[in-house]
Amino acid sequence: MTRYAYLGPAGTFTEAALLQITSPSDELRPYANVTAALNAVRSGSVEKALVPIENSVEGVVARTLDELATGDPLVISAETTLPVSFALMVLPENAKSPITRIATHPHAEAQCRSFIAKEWPDAEIMETPSTAAAAAGLVSKNYDAAIASSFAAEKYGLTIVADNIGDNEGAITRFVVVEKPGPASLPTGNDRTSLAAFIDIDHAGALLEILTEFAKQNVNLTFIQSRPTGRELGHYHFIIDAEGHIEDMPVHQAVEGLKEICEEIRFLGSYPRAARVQK
């Protein structure tokens, strides 16, 4: 049995993604936010956590990136993806009642703007920590409807009044399994290596210098995002995903080259890439 933390409450897309990679004997524990889920790993309350890191429509989950780059070290050991589809849901007894207030997570609201503007242009949008929290909160009757997954509607016994309301039908979210550092996994031939590269101070050509180290070794980058370190203006780090395993010589040599030009390199794991989702 493995204990997993995940972004809760029950009924989130994260829980649905976690069910894809766990067994019935595993223990799944919901946490209120990404920070709490990852801190559960750091404290030893759980062995692993599953958190969202990237969405094909809304982009990166900044909180996940920042948590991995700071604090006690954690590494990514696996990833999984999940097609994301949204539904508008209400309490069963309110299926035909007017809708004036809709609750959901900001990422979900951003992916359903066209639908909301067309169908409920005058509705007040209320922000919740997750789409599942919006679904769960319907029982309080502080709002009339929630935008969440059909998975959440089933969890909380809600009635779906409109399904597949997202502006992009092919939306996909990538999730990562995070745990404490340990022995590296063996290369599979279809791996991804993640790391955080801290530059000493922002300067002209800093990004080019980083990219050049990978280009010299013919290593393809699948993701790169700059984030402030929080120290002061001008201090940044880059979160980088590269094709290949740290034990693959091209990736290893590229990382060694980065050590010569960066203030610090934090290794965030080498792990098998998730199967490509067919949209």
pLDDT in the model for residue 202? 62
pLDDT in the model for residue 141? 86
Residues 195 and 276 in one domain: yes
pLDDT in the model for residue 212? 95
Residues 6+ apart with CB under 8 A from 53: 60, 61, 64, 65, 79, 174, 175, 176
What whole-number distance in Å separates Cα of residue 181 and Cα of residue 242? 19
pLDDT in the model for residue 279? 46
Domain-terminating residue out of 132, 152, 182: 182
What whole-number distance in Å separates Cα of residue 27 and Cα of residue 22? 9
Residues 2 and 52 in one domain: yes
Residues 61 and 113 in one domain: no
What whole-number distance in Å separates Cα of residue 198 and Cα of residue 70? 11
Residues 101 and 225 in one domain: no
Cα torsion at 124, 128, 134, 136 (round to 10°)? -140
Residues 107 and 147 in one domain: yes
- What type of residue is 206? A
Residues 101 and 70 in one domain: no
Give me the tens of pLDDT residue by residue for the chain, a chain 279 residues long: 999 999 989 999 999 999 999 999 999 999 999 999 999 999 999 999 999 999 887 788 889 999 999 999 999 999 999 999 999 999 999 999 999 999 999 989 999 999 999 999 999 999 998 899 999 999 888 899 999 999 999 999 999 999 999 998 888 999 999 999 998 889 999 999 999 999 876 666 778 999 999 999 999 999 999 887 766 666 778 999 999 999 999 999 999 999 998 989 999 999 999 976 544
CATH number at residue 278: 3.30.70.260
CATH number at residue 16: 3.40.190.10
Smallest CA-to-CA distance from 84 within 169, 25, 141 is with 169
What whole-number distance in Å separates Cα of residue 239 and Cα of residue 241? 7
pLDDT in the model for residue 101? 97
Residues 49 and 174 in one domain: yes
> What is the total count of domains within the chain?
3
pLDDT in the model for residue 207? 84
pLDDT in the model for residue 171? 86
Secondary structure class of 277 (helix, strand, coil): coil
How many residues does this entry show for the chain? 279
Residues 189 and 176 in one domain: no
Give Cα 59 distance to the centre of its chain: 9
pLDDT in the model for residue 185? 87
What whole-number distance in Å separates Cα of residue 157 and Cα of residue 160? 10
Domain assignment of residue 240, given as a range: 183-279
pLDDT in the model for residue 184? 80
